[in-house]
Amino acid sequence: MQPALGAVTELWRYPASSLAGEFQEAISVDWYTVEGDRLFGLVDTSTDEIARPDREAKWHKVPRIRTRLSQSGRLEVAIPDGRWLSAPGAQSDRAVSAYLGFAASIRPFRRENAAPDYAGPLLTERYVKAPIHLLTTASLARLKVLHPEGTADARRFRPNIVVDMPEVEGSFPETEWIGRKLAIGDLLLTISEPCRRCGFTIIGQDGFDHDPAILRSLVRHNAHNLGVYCTVDRSARVEIGATMRLL
């Protein structure tokens, strides 16, 4: 058996696309996605344009809107310094719209994601996501070496799984594992492709500021990439502390 490369220190799901993620002590991974991941989106109701923080400054405040799923699986959101509100709903839409400064609405991608009484419109998903986005602390440490003035916070990159592992000098290690298989606890994955980064990574969130040099460093030193996408060979529940091994 291969020795452990590291252990899971962070687990995330993103109930609403582009909004802040929800830290988890454990996640359930099926063949297609993390349970509770990217069930909803946010639109400008005047145009039905879905939020694109990576492309338009008007959406830059969106990653500061917190999200969580209730015990019953209902989405709840909270603007900074605001209370938790059920979503989709008129009250949450008013709060989000006031925070953003224009009329916006949270909507589900599929009818089954919303509460039974939701009768509003659905959103069309703009991309097909890989089941798992994996990032190592070794790659974050390499980014910090390249851009020491910046904050190499995992939240900039929206991973599902963050694995703590020793630094590899001069390397973003998981980018070099494309095509390899790995185990994280009972979860078996194939590393399918590097994660190409976009303008979302430069946007400020709670605890760190807007920083265009973050993306410039990745463009110059790792072909635009940080972290990897993975497909699922065996689904499982993953908990904080689970060890990761290459197979």
In the prediction, which pLDDT does 14 show? 97
- Cα–chain-centroid distance for residue 213? 20
- Mean pLDDT for 202-230 is 96
- Look at residue 115 in the predicted model and tell me its pLDDT: 83
E strand segments, 54-186? 66-69, 75-78, 85-87, 104-108, 132-136, 161-164, 181-184
CA dihedral 46, 199, 166, 223 (to 10 degrees): 140
User: Domains in the chain and their CATH numbers?
Assistant: 6-33+129-246 (2.40.33.20), 40-113 (no CATH)
pLDDT at residue 119 tops 90 = no
Instruction: Summarize pLDDT for 90-107 with one digit per residue, the tens.
Output: 999 999 999 999 999 999
H or E stretch including 12?
strand 6-13
* Model pLDDT for residues 174-193, shown as the tens digit of each residue: 999 999 999 999 999 999 99
In the predicted model, is pLDDT for residue 131 greater than 70?
yes
In terms of pTM, does the model score above 0.85? yes
Structure tokens at 149: 């003035």
Contact 131, 117 (CB under 8 A): no
* Interval 20-73: pLDDT, tens: 999 999 999 999 899 999 999 999 999 999 999 999 999 999 999 999 999 888
What is the C-alpha separation between 100 and 50, in angstroms, rounded?
A: 14
pLDDT > 70 fraction of the chain, expressed in percent and rounded: 99
Cα gap 184→203, rounded to integer Å? 30
Q: Residue 126: is its pLDDT beyond 80?
A: no
Helices (H), 47-136: 90-100
pLDDT band with cut points at 50, 70 and 90 for residue 3: confident
pLDDT at 1: 63
Beta bridge partners of 196: 225
In this prediction, residue 93 carries a pLDDT of 97
Instruction: Please check the confidence at residue 127 and state whether its pLDDT lies above 80.
Output: no
What does each C-alpha distance from 51 to 16, 105, 196 come to in angstroms? 11, 10, 19
